[in-house]
Structure 1
Amino acid sequence: MSKINIIPLGGVRENGKNMYVVEVDELIFVLDCGLLYPESDLLGIDIVIPDFTYLEENKNRIAGVFLTHGHEDAVGALPYFLENIDAPVFGTELTIELAKLAVKETGLTPKFDSYHVVNEKTAIEFENVVVKFFRTTHSIPDSVGICLQTKEGSIVYTGDFKFDQSSPDMYKTDFAQITSIGTDGVLALLSDSSDAESALENASDLRVTEEIVDTFNNAEGRVIVASIASNIMRVQQIFDAAYQTKRKIFMTGSKLVEVVDTAIKLGKLVLPSRDVIVTEENLDKYADNELIILETGQTVDPMQALQRMAKNKHSQIQIAEGDLVYITTTPSTSMETVVAKTKNILYRAGATVKEISDTLKVSGHATPNDLKLMMNLLQPKYFIPVQGEYRFQAAHAELANEVGIPYKNIFIPGKGDIMEYKDGRMRMAGQVPAGNVLIDGIGVGDIGNIVLRDRKLLADNGIFIAVITISRRQGKILSGPEIISRGFVYMKVSEDLIKNSAEIARKVVEDNLKNKDFEWATLKQEIRDSLSRYLFEETKRRPVILPIIMEASSYTKKR
């Protein structure tokens, strides 16, 4: 009997950063390797990736990384994973190419080349495990689910998916294969929970295309479309609608162009006409009612780019009177404030704004009926809701119970939790190291809670600096204290506060200089404490206080 452990290192109790570890005896199978774009409270952080500590400690046991699709939440952390772990990477054709782009963009592992293209017919045999794939419908082509066949039954990971009977052939779900996997016996199902709370069903992709065509037809001037570069289904719909309405598309941003070029070369995105895309140099040749501007931003958020357009700070496009800004992405709950702010800025610049979500429920993720259908097709013994905040996982767990899976066989894990299958029963069996690794520029994991706390303090209350030069030998202050404030108070109208702060710092230094063996750390801490008490009494705010104490060097001049 095989020993099986299932361990989420990301993608649970959060929206993104999908990474799931399945251990079968001595082999480790890594399912997806995604990143998460941070919320606003992670000041200065570019991206968040999983903690790879457990995998680095067991890297000799890793059979491979198996990817479900090419979005950042599934492949974005791969460059950082491969920096310290040499493991083969498996994925469909487009997924592998987008993964290579992600690795190339960081420049971390330029020599890595162990990529392997798979499809729904691929079966990869390992000791005691056969890895298979099945086609799913998502907002990007070449999306698959993963099936690990073991002696105890299959472990199935759906990846991001939805069911849509009107999807083009390139996006169609393979219901027959899913049914076959269920017939053979599924031990555990890890399934997408992102839309488990939805009260509405998704609009079909055919209906979405019709809506986009209607919007383009009714627009009297330019249409500036906000989308996501890796949502290739939406990009295809925009291309098709532009062609049907006799408009030309100008794509902004190098990332969008790179993704589109890759998809076109692989035949995963089809241009309805060669001349549907125009360059920046040719924009003046077309009237406003002949143009579509496709903006995707540099990450998954085109809102900042729209704001730059409205403020005349965009390098290519500025919002003009009469423009229609068409937001074709459905913002997450955390983004609703940003979207509202962006719409306000756009209206002030003279544009009108329309959101596709105003009229249609649009998502690449399964709604409750789809989720229950997947469970009924696969008939798993154990169920593990993944990919979503805790409330989505909990809602998905309720759906699982509705289709007959007992609560005792449903697990809602946190990051690092071990679900162990042993002696014919699955149970929680401890934890492995797991959490968030913060990426700030080229720094990986060197930003901790203390740094983030300081950044928040700086953002909320500013910084207060006291600069003093002393002579330990003479036991006196040579210059200063000089007070510098940034983001705390306006110095020109706070002369009394600055003067009193300087006197407080002076007194602390003079008291310490009476003892020539004083400790530098003690001196600086006493300055911080004294200034902090005074400033809080006067302003009810606590800036970051930075004492800078310099000691003048002394020497005897040679004659």
Structure 2
Amino acid sequence: MLQNLRVIPLGGVRENGKNMYAVEVEDEIYILDCGLMYPENELLGIDVVIPDFTYVKENIDKVVGIFLTHGHADAIGALPYFLVENQVPVFGSEMTIALAKIAVSSEKKLRRFDDFHIIDEKTAIDFKNATVSFFKTTHSIPGSLGIDLKTSAGHVVYTGDFKFDQVATPEYQTDFGRLADIGRDHVLMLLSDSSNAESPYETSSERDISSYILETFKYHEGRIIVASVASNIVRIQQILNAAAQIGRRVVLTGRDLEKIVKTALKLNYLTLPDPNLLATTKELRELPPEKTVVLETGKMGEPIKSLSKMATNRHRLLHIKEGDLVFITTTPSHAMETNVAKMRDLVYRAGGTVKAISDDMHSSGHANKSNLQLMLNLLHPDYLMPIQGEYRLLDAHANIAEETGMPADHIFITKMGDVVKYNKGGFHLGAAVNAGDTMIDGSGVGDIGNIVLRDRRLLADDGIFIAVVTIDRRKKKIVAKPKLTSRGFVYVKANRNLMAESSDIVVKAIENNLANKEFDWNDLKQDVREDLSKYLFEQTKRHPVILPVIMEVNQNRHR
């Protein structure tokens, strides 16, 4: 009889991206995906956000492997950070493993790591307490697979990113028969994609999107600049096909795109309709506008940022000019809507025009309401854990499931670290484990916390105010008058009275501390901060970061 079955989301719930889920079966832990998340604007200076690996590290001897659903950053992006300290086997499809190797190769310590295992929809791996098998799903990248963990009590199924497209090409087709077979064999828990759960609209088929792209290319006479996500292989293929059909050549921008395209071509997941289709960036100036397609890609919001640079003559390769069409073939997240609106305005100012697939079609690589209900009806799970999406999307998925007849108490809207435990024939919420965000800034991993981010926000909002003073502690006097400066707070020359009064406040705070028999450096600096902060807020209604620098002459000490 099964004694221990627990499902633990370590990321990917109440957020977009950073998918990582631990399924614990007896004394074995199966890690499903290991992704990252690109930060929103309020995470100033942060490059990427990855899951907190604390729980997995504490139980690393139980981990049998990492099982990947597809090759997007939200599923594989955190691998380098995880594997550098915890080298465990990694399983995924041919395309997924190829992209995972590219991601891992950036980490010097992992250049000899080669514990990768290519699997496909026919693979079944027997471990001590569970059998792991896979099923084909439809997504915007080939080699996308769902994961099925078969235990003695029933199946735990993880969909990964998916949608249903009845006219998908063979390499992107969902295996409906396999899903139905799993559903007939008792699914205990379904972890299902919620990214598009709020959409009631039927998602446009990729065949219709291909026709739309071709029509757009046909009826524009000038240069076409296409924005897409680098890892959206199906969209890149559609762009290559359309360009070839009307006799245009395609210029690729960005190293990420070149690596991904080369990998996909090598594995035959991308095909070139014309061997001379691709042009180099050096050929860009020589190509006539009516024969040119520029494919600008990047991570999440990067294509939009690049287009803004093109429109303001700051891009390294090209500038938008009269007659250019900017064609957005990706659907930006809600967080990017303001940036997209600003970019559109800049493009029009530069003389170009903008067209977006999302203006005319419902394009998404994720399941809408009817797709989610179909998945539920195919698998008939006892319990559902909506994953991948902000809370409102998880809640929308829960409502969708209730419409199919699933009881509300069989749906778990979890947060990171929640433990959903199987006991006495049902799942229940147990004690949580350590989980959260680990922020990556440059080469630093996890060294940026809430206090540092708070200071960055204050610096961005109200600037910094620095007070430099030299004292003689033995003689109990100030040697040099305070030198005050600010950056991003006020213009010093226009605020002489404010600076003079601030100087007096600093002097008074220091003299009070020097007169105290129990002199303490921390108390001195804290008094300067508090007195200055109170005064500056009264005068300006701003809270700059205040940095007192106290130097001591006789001791040659700097505080």
Q: CA deviation at 1:177?
A: 1.1
Q: CA deviation at 1:396?
A: 1.1
For 2:144, the aligned partner's letter is: S
Partner of 2:364 in structure 1? 363
1:104 maps to 2:78 = no
For 2:136, the aligned partner's letter is: R
Q: Output aligned runs, 1:14-413, within 5 Å.
A: 14-297=15-298, 300-413=301-414
Looking at structure 1, the residues matched to 554 and 187 of structure 2 have their Cα atoms a distance apart, in angstroms, of 75
Q: CA deviation at 1:254?
A: 0.8
Structure 2's unaligned 5+ residue stretches are none
For 2:21, the aligned partner's letter is: Y
Question: Conserved in 1, the CA contact under 8 Å of 2:137 and 2:173?
Answer: yes
After TM superposition, the structure 1 stretch with the greater mean CA deviation from structure 2, 133-142 or 512-521, is: 512-521
Q: CA deviation at 1:399?
A: 1.7
For 2:469, the aligned partner's letter is: I
SS in 2 for 1:39: coil
Partner of 1:431 in structure 2? 432
Question: Conserved in 2, the CA contact under 8 Å of 1:229 and 1:300?
Answer: no
SS in 1 for 2:478: strand
Q: CA deviation at 1:105?
A: 2.5
Question: Conserved in 1, the CA contact under 8 Å of 2:301 and 2:332?
Answer: no
1:457 maps to 2:452 = no
Looking at structure 1, the residues matched to 29 and 516 of structure 2 have their Cα atoms a distance apart, in angstroms, of 62
Q: CA RMSD for the aligned pairs?
A: 1.3
SS in 2 for 1:302: helix
Q: CA deviation at 1:554?
A: 5.6
Question: Conserved in 2, the CA contact under 8 Å of 1:92 and 1:143?
Answer: yes
For 1:436, the aligned partner's letter is: D
Question: Conserved in 2, the CA contact under 8 Å of 1:249 and 1:291?
Answer: yes
Q: How far does the alpha carbon of each residue in 1:491-547 deviate from its partner, in whole angstroms, 9 at most, with x for none? A: 121111112111211222233233465111111111111111111111111111000
SS in 1 for 2:184: helix
After TM superposition, the structure 1 stretch with the greater mean CA deviation from structure 2, 177-186 or 6-15, is: 177-186
Looking at structure 2, the residues matched to 252 and 507 of structure 1 have their Cα atoms a distance apart, in angstroms, of 60
Looking at structure 1, the residues matched to 246 and 507 of structure 2 have their Cα atoms a distance apart, in angstroms, of 74
Q: How far does the alpha carbon of each residue in 1:224-245 deviate from its partner, in whole angstroms, 9 at most, with x for none? A: 1110001111111111111111
SS in 2 for 1:446: coil
Looking at structure 2, the residues matched to 380 and 465 of structure 1 have their Cα atoms a distance apart, in angstroms, of 61
Looking at structure 1, the residues matched to 300 and 398 of structure 2 have their Cα atoms a distance apart, in angstroms, of 31
Partner of 2:536 in structure 1? 535
For 2:295, the aligned partner's letter is: L
For 2:500, the aligned partner's letter is: K
1:7 maps to 2:8 = yes
Q: How far does the alpha carbon of each residue in 1:275-327 deviate from its partner, in whole angstroms, 9 at most, with x for none? A: 11100221233210110111113555311111111111111111112111111
SS in 1 for 2:475: coil
Q: How far does the alpha carbon of each residue in 1:371-397 deviate from its partner, in whole angstroms, 9 at most, with x for none? A: 111111111111111111111111111
For 2:7, the aligned partner's letter is: I
After TM superposition, the structure 1 stretch with the greater mean CA deviation from structure 2, 95-104 or 469-478, is: 469-478
Question: Conserved in 2, the CA contact under 8 Å of 1:253 and 1:298?
Answer: no
Looking at structure 1, the residues matched to 554 and 267 of structure 2 have their Cα atoms a distance apart, in angstroms, of 68
Question: Conserved in 2, the CA contact under 8 Å of 1:68 and 1:143?
Answer: yes
Partner of 1:502 in structure 2? 503
Looking at structure 2, the residues matched to 265 and 315 of structure 1 have their Cα atoms a distance apart, in angstroms, of 28
Moved over 4 A (4+): none
Question: Conserved in 2, the CA contact under 8 Å of 1:330 and 1:357?
Answer: yes
Q: CA deviation at 1:108?
A: 5.0
TM-score (norm 2): 0.97
Looking at structure 2, the residues matched to 271 and 161 of structure 1 have their Cα atoms a distance apart, in angstroms, of 26
Q: CA deviation at 1:476?
A: 2.3
Looking at structure 1, the residues matched to 43 and 410 of structure 2 have their Cα atoms a distance apart, in angstroms, of 36
Q: CA deviation at 1:100?
A: 1.2
SS in 2 for 1:470: strand
For 2:450, the aligned partner's letter is: N
For 2:381, the aligned partner's letter is: P
For 1:413, the aligned partner's letter is: T
For 1:304, the aligned partner's letter is: K
Partner of 1:483 in structure 2? 484
SS in 2 for 1:140: coil
Q: CA deviation at 1:106?
A: 4.0
Q: CA deviation at 1:91?
A: 0.3
For 2:434, the aligned partner's letter is: P
Looking at structure 2, the residues matched to 435 and 359 of structure 1 have their Cα atoms a distance apart, in angstroms, of 38
Distance 1:106 1:317, change over 3 A: farther
Q: How far does the alpha carbon of each residue in 1:199-234 deviate from its partner, in whole angstroms, 9 at most, with x for none? A: 211110011011111111111211111100011111
SS in 1 for 2:298: coil
Looking at structure 2, the residues matched to 155 and 214 of structure 1 have their Cα atoms a distance apart, in angstroms, of 44
Partner of 1:468 in structure 2? 469
SS in 2 for 1:80: helix
Question: Conserved in 2, the CA contact under 8 Å of 1:35 and 1:50?
Answer: yes
Question: Conserved in 1, the CA contact under 8 Å of 2:301 and 2:336?
Answer: no
Question: Conserved in 1, the CA contact under 8 Å of 2:90 and 2:117?
Answer: yes
Looking at structure 2, the residues matched to 372 and 120 of structure 1 have their Cα atoms a distance apart, in angstroms, of 23
Distance 1:174 1:514, change over 3 A: same
SS in 1 for 2:421: strand
Question: Conserved in 2, the CA contact under 8 Å of 1:6 and 1:23?
Answer: yes
Looking at structure 2, the residues matched to 526 and 383 of structure 1 have their Cα atoms a distance apart, in angstroms, of 55
Structure 1's unaligned 5+ residue stretches are none
Distance 1:378 1:227, change over 3 A: same
For 2:69, the aligned partner's letter is: T
Question: Conserved in 1, the CA contact under 8 Å of 2:229 and 2:299?
Answer: no
Question: Conserved in 2, the CA contact under 8 Å of 1:320 and 1:349?
Answer: yes
Looking at structure 2, the residues matched to 300 and 133 of structure 1 have their Cα atoms a distance apart, in angstroms, of 31
Question: Conserved in 1, the CA contact under 8 Å of 2:35 and 2:50?
Answer: yes
Q: CA deviation at 1:22?
A: 0.5
SS in 2 for 1:184: coil
After TM superposition, the structure 1 stretch with the greater mean CA deviation from structure 2, 133-142 or 272-281, is: 272-281
Q: CA deviation at 1:49?
A: 0.8
